[in-house]
């Protein structure tokens, strides 16, 4: 006998902390899948980005052509994906970037939807959320 | 009838058993269970390969802590790796990301992501 899964949970707010270098695995995909699911369930979602994750929302991102589908239209970047979620969910979704990490890595070309925050406000947003998950730190 | 305690710790494992640090989450789950906590172990990304590479360890963990351990595996992680969902039979419950989010948002749940 195993423990049961919850059938439902009341909508609340969710905080995701995206840390380190998220490009070395499918962690970015997992993050966006979870963000999308939480938004569809009516929750308020805050994503805080530190380290190289601050590059996910740069205007300068580009995606190389898909060699397996050369006729396919240009693919979305993580920045355009964030903008699409903003258009769909409005104030229900916040994308925050740590100023220190952003400037240290030269990731300063941010989309207008990004809110650049001082590092110390991490704790404020984390504490304000009903649920939290910090991901992306290499063990 | 013994009441099943609510899930209190959600461990999201992303390592395969063969990778560096791949068994840390299992050891943490075992320690939490030994301490009396209820644990939800979710296998995501490369951790889906536990079902192929070492299902006995996961199965054994549940056997020793009957009723306080829930093991689930991410549907997309299985599909991306071409792992037949039948591999989860008797080891884990296949769930989607919506179910994972509902579990994470349970008021009594603390969630840990193992990168």
C-alpha to C-alpha distances, A97 to A31, A57, A119, B23, nearest whole angstrom: 15, 9, 9, 32
Render pLDDT for B68-77 as a digit per residue (tens, 0 to 9). 999 999 999 9
Alpha-carbon span B53 to B92, nearest angstrom: 14
Burial of A12 (C-beta count, 10 Å sphere; 0-12/13-18/19+): middle
DSSP, collapsed to helix, strand or coil, labels residue B73 as strand
- DSSP single-letter state for residue B82: T
Going from the C-alpha of A100 to that of each of A81, A133, B71, the distances in angstroms are 24, 21, 38
Query: Which residues pair with residue A96 across a beta bridge?
Result: A48, A115
Confidence class for position B23, pLDDT limits 50, 70, 90: confident
Is residue A70 domain-resident?
Answer: no
Angle at B93 between CA B91 and CA B99, to 5 degrees: 155
H-run or E-run covering A9: none
Q: Is residue A42 part of a domain?
A: yes
Residue B43, φ and ψ in degrees, nearest 5: -95, 120
What is the domain range of residue A98?
13-60+76-135
Number of domains in chain A: 1
Domains and CATH numbers, chain B: 9-114 (3.40.1260.10)
- B46, B70, B99 ranked by CB distance to A3: nearest: B70
Asked if residue A67 belongs to a domain, the reply is: no
Q: What percent of chain A has pLDDT over 90?
A: 70
Detail the DSSP E strand segments found in A41-92: 44-49
Rounded to two decimals, the ipTM of the complex is: 0.89
Residue A130 CA to residue A138 CA, distance in Å, equals 25
Both structure tokens of B95:
């769930």
Reported as a single tens digit per residue, the pLDDT across A61-87 is 888 777 887 777 777 889 999 999 999
What is the full per-residue pLDDT of chain A (139 aa) written as tens digits? 455 665 555 578 999 999 977 777 899 999 999 999 999 999 999 999 999 999 999 999 888 777 887 777 777 889 999 999 999 999 999 999 999 999 999 999 999 999 999 999 999 999 999 999 999 875 4
What is the mean predicted confidence (pLDDT) over B47-67? 89
State how far the Cα of B48 lies from the Cα of B74, in Å rounded to an integer.
7
| Beta-carbon contacts below 8 Å between A and B | 101
Q: What's A26's domain CATH number?
A: 3.40.1260.10
Q: Which two tokens stand for residue A133?
A: 């998950």
Find, among A80, A121, A125, the residue nearest to A100 by Cα: A121
Counted residue by residue, chain A has a size of 139
The confidence score (pLDDT) of residue B47 equals 95
- Binary contact (A136, B115; C-beta < 8 A): yes
Nearest-by-CA chain B residue for A17: B113
Put simply, whether A9 touches B (Cβ < 8 Å) is yes
> Considering only CB atoms, which chain A residues are within 8 Å of B107?
9-10, 130
* Prediction pTM value: 0.89
């Amino acid at each position: 006998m195993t423990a049961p899964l919850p059938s439902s949970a009341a909508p609340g707010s969710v905080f995701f902390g995206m840390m380190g270098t998220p490009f070395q695995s499918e962690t970015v995909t997992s993050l966006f899948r979870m963000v999308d699911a939480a938004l569809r369930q009516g929750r308020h979602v805050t994503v805080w980005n530190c380290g190289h994750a601050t590059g996910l929302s740069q205007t300068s991102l580009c995606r190389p052509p898909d060699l397996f589908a050369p006729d396919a239209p240009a693919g979305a970047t993580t920045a355009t994906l964030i903008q699409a979620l903003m258009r769909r969910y409005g104030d229900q979704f916040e994308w925050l970037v740590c100023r220190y990490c952003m400037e240290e890595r030269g990731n300063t070309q941010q989309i207008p939807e990004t809110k650049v925050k001082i590092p110390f406000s991490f704790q404020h947003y984390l504490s304000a959320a009903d649920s939290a998950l910090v991901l992306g730190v290499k063990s | 009838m013994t009441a099943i305690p609510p899930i209190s710790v959600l461990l999201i494992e992303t390592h395969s058993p063969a990778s560096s640090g791949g068994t840390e989450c299992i050891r943490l789950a075992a320690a939490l269970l030994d301490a009396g906590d209820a644990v939800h172990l979710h296998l995501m990304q490369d951790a889906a390969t536990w079902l192929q590479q070492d299902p006995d360890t996961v199965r054994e963990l549940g056997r020793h802590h009957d009723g306080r351990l829930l093991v689930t595996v991410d549907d997309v992680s299985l599909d991306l790796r071409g792992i037949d969902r039948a591999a989860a039979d008797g080891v884990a419950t296949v769930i989607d990301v919506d179910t994972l989010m509902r579990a994470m948002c349970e008021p009594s749940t603390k969630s840990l992501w193992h990168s």
